[in-house]
Amino acid sequence: MLVLIFKGLRKVVENIQAQIYTPLGHIVFYLNNVKIKKGFVVYGFMKVHVTRRGKVQIGESLKVNSGEYNLIGRQQKTIFWVEGDLKIGDNVGMSATAIICNYKITIGNNVTIGGNTVVYDTDFHNLDPKIRIYKFKDKNSAIKKPVIIEDNVFIGAHSTILKGVTIGQNSIIGACSVVTKNIPPNEIWAGNPAKFIRLLNDK
């Protein structure tokens, strides 16, 4: 009986928390000039930073777990840092994810991004050590290339998606993978660097 009461109370608390965090999430996006469509739900506090040059477009039914609400460990906040053009489609879910958009990142519909995944469209720094000593020049000369994650992609937890890659529709990225090159549709890839494992429908 005590177990049932505990579980019932836990569910009530979770529902109350959703009623708190989601409106706060709306406010954070609004203050960054980001319009949110219906169905947005967030658990936990996010970090959102959109610069004056940044543009963000988010579709319907975005679901976000952030911080302690990423229940698989490594409970960082979900981060949206945008100085470029970020587009997120409908019915996208993510947990403790960091999206760092300096140039262009496009995420399609029905995409699931596992806990602690990071998506980078930039190298952040120049490869030349003589340039790296100059902070402004270093940042502005870093190589930037677009990232495209197509519809129905599933990205396993703790993965890293690097600049210039396209992940084809329906493909799956195994946990802890580092994606450095394009992945065709309907394939499973995993590893560091990520390599082809098999076609999606092969057994």
Active-site positions?
A: 125
Strand spans (E) along the chain? 41-43, 47-50, 55-58, 63-65, 79-82, 85-88, 93-95, 98-101, 104-107, 112-113, 118-120, 147-149, 154-155, 160-161, 166-167, 172-173, 178-179, 187-190, 195-199
Whole-angstrom distance, CA of residue 113 vs CA of residue 202: 23
CA pair distance 173, 167, nearest whole angstrom? 9
